[in-house]
């Protein structure tokens, strides 16, 4: 595989850059075991999971959250 610089990536077309980002993301996602959570991140996840179990109806479905985000643009 030919190595390219960050500057050279700007010479790629938009679709080529999107594909490059997707390819990079796929290599990261394939190695999720290498991602280490900090103790603070683990604590936050545990707290949120506990809050969910206490009140699973609290919050919004993803579709509603997504629509709010998109509509703010």
Render pLDDT for 3-33 as a digit per residue (tens, 0 to 9).
889 999 999 999 999 999 999 999 988 887 7
Give CA separation, 45 vs 38, 48, 51, 52, 66, in Å.
11, 5, 10, 10, 21
Instruction: Answer whether 0.95 is exceeded by the pTM.
Output: no
Structure confidence at residue 41 as a pLDDT band (50, 70, 90): very high
Helix (H, G, I), strand (E, B) or coil at 38: coil
Structure confidence at residue 62 as a pLDDT band (50, 70, 90): very high
Cβ–Cβ < 8 Å for 12, 20: yes
Where on the phi/psi map is residue 25: left (φ > 0), alpha (ψ -120 to 50), or beta? alpha
């Amino acid at each position: 595989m030919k190595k390219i610089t960050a500057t050279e990536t700007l010479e790629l077309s938009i679709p080529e850059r999107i594909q490059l980002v997707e390819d990079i993301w796929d290599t990261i996602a394939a190695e999720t075991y290498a991602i280490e959570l900090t103790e603070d991140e683990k604590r936050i996840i545990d707290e949120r999971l506990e809050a969910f179990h206490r009140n699973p109806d609290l919050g919004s479905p993803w579709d509603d959250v997504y629509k709010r985000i998109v509509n703010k643009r």
